[in-house]
Amino acid sequence: MSSENPVSDTTSKRLALFDQMIAKGSEDPFVHYARAMELRSLGRKEDALEAFDGVAARFPTYVPTYLMAAQVCGE
């Protein structure tokens, strides 16, 4: 296998999948939240925070968003 970081590759593939689902109009808050989590896993802190902000604005009752956004801020 030529991949140097299979975990990062898998995370990138999941991010692409969530991006596709959102582009198709997904209204599932978990899809948007999971995208933010994948950005966090890739070490893209600012992008993750922006994504969590978007989830909070669009789905204000999706509570896990606030906990994870706070954790990312503390990293």
Mapped onto helix, strand or coil, the DSSP state of residue 66 is helix
Q: Which of 40, 30, 29 is nearest to 73 (CA)?
A: 40
DSSP assigned state of 4: S
CA dist., res. 39 & res. 11, Å (int): 8
Q: 22-56, pLDDT tens digit by residue?
A: 999 999 999 999 999 999 999 999 999 999 999 99
DSSP assigned state of 3: -
Give the pLDDT score at 3. Answer: 53
34, HSE (Cβ side, Cα atoms, 13 Å): 18
Q: The whole model's pTM is what?
A: 0.86
